[in-house]
Amino acid sequence: MSTTAAPLTNRDRAVLRAVAAGRCRISPAGGALVVDGLYFADQFAGSRLTEAGLIAAASDTGSALLTASGRALIGTEAA
């Protein structure tokens, strides 16, 4: 049995860019993604990108952070 990763959508890439810009948090209640203080309309984006290993929550603040894989995917340098 083989598995293939789903390709990233343009929306996913936009979320990764927002995370890179420091505009996102991951809500402790269910892992929902909060962008600019508002819950993101795609309720599964946060968990989907976390499970894909592209974003993670900072343990002390809940801020969403790009992982090394996330940074490589959108071509940003580590902050």
pLDDT tens track for 7-65:
788 999 999 999 999 999 998 777 789 999 999 999 888 888 999 999 999 888 889 99
Please state whether 6 falls in left (phi above 0), alpha (psi between -120 and 50) or beta.
beta
pLDDT at residue 67 is higher than 70: yes
Residue 14 located in a structural domain: yes
* pLDDT of amino acid 75: 85
CA-only gyration radius of the chain, Å: 12
* pLDDT of amino acid 3: 44
pLDDT at residue 79 is higher than 50: no
Residue 2 located in a structural domain: no
* pLDDT of amino acid 62: 87
CA–CA separation, 71 vs 40, rounded Å? Answer: 21
Provide mean pLDDT across the span 58-74.
91
Number of domains forming the structure of the chain: 1
Instruction: Name the residue range of residue 35's domain.
Output: 10-74
Query: What is the H or E stretch that residue 56 is in?
Result: strand 55-57
Residue 5 located in a structural domain: no
